[in-house]
Structure 1
């Protein structure tokens, strides 16, 4: 027997067919391309006998092609190929169709998970490509201010997708499918365009994953388009295996870029990112800000982080500030910068 891979298939499909090698011997896995004879025979929707076939089918002279599909598909997705070697005792090929039908049932069962996974993956990749090419997302800008006077010193760019998928879900999906760098490049470029109408002294803060920062060669050129101070935020939730490589990659972004560690106190590495990367800014997760005015435990933790940041040469930025009491408490704890609904919600820029 010989099993051919599919026009819309992948190496995973071929690997899933491996059990046939033990059940139906001898078995070959023969790839084919759209337009080959197998594809045209599969499209006919019927089995037939022919003396022709792929050149690498060995010495099997007679081949039968049986197309099959999964579920309620109207058109075949693949074709099982049955070959008979010229042994007189074997009889006509048509006498072996019962075996062929059994093999077809087996291959459909064996390949169903691989095919469905491949189709789901392909659909997700196509969806991401459309999001990037059509820019079906919006960049919102939220101010970062000095707590003692409310002066805006920077804005953070936040991405919102038109289909309502949460940003963290969409970026995680893109990374898993090998499209994380492309999506991050697109959103950073859009953020720079959105902030172009702001005064030049206001910095722009963007979120970039450590993996993209370290390995994407196009990021530096995009960052340099900003013509303003840029802040690159690395989330504390993501693991960093090589801090020296990340520091070297950050250095390649240029002298007008500052580093920030986002969500301090909530993620994977705790304070290790801060110790190893020595960022200019440390962003305090909003969970430690909520209710800080009346919570001595939160006040103690933030006080310690503020001291730690000062000793390491960083400035602390408190996120999620919503009340005057929270702002007052943070100022008392020597936190100088912050963002939250108290100072402004994320909004579109005038250029969008």
Structure 2
């Protein structure tokens, strides 16, 4: 299996819901799994004992050694909090078993306390400057006049970001439609996806293939570079290769030519749509720009009929 295919498989495994954030790196001869949560080693041990009731462990210093099956060795370091999975059969075992182990871990509904933030999720949250306690979605929606109105660029960006976060968080089917998008806004969408992984959301980005003379591919390439370059306060990468690959696997991108802007979502029998004259682009968010904003609740059927089907998207909406 090629490195690219292995990364794609790891991304799928990482997408398994967990009660807190973990990350993983494929080093070829071993897979390293890590987290910044206190008690993570005890959490792993409980999972292994549940999944392998007769498992035997050897402890030497800070390292706990486990052999779950022939050809696989797992070392848990209580100091570094790293899990190293190695051995001649470590890859097939990891692919066949690790998702099931993570699902066993979901039986523990209590999130473990952290040591000043996790490797990715908390850092992503800080980078996005999202605080649900200070700014609920409804508080922002209540500021939009009945029938819509003209709003400031900072408010539109805050509402756009908070709405997407809320929709991703409840596992909705989300649509981002804009004739112009820059790498910073695309980066924000990707971070919001990472922050809310495991909720079962689906997301479609609809944007023209060419924008301002540039192909969308260039915008995507710039966004990928940004994701690799942005660092946390601990000088580690904000987004690992596995998480980047998961985003690429998950984000559905469609290209059409149009000149409308909206974000919308549906879940069960409810749908919402925010329409605006603001492109999701720095030209509308980095200047003293003012644009029209209108928010509506409607049925998934009307969302499909009035907003999605005219753009040839949303054929799976009832």
Q: TM-score, normalised by structure 1?
A: 0.25
Higher RCO, 1 or 2 (CA under 8 Å, sep at least 6)? 2
Structure exhibiting the larger radius of gyration computed from Cα positions: 1
Q: TM-score, normalised by structure 2?
A: 0.27
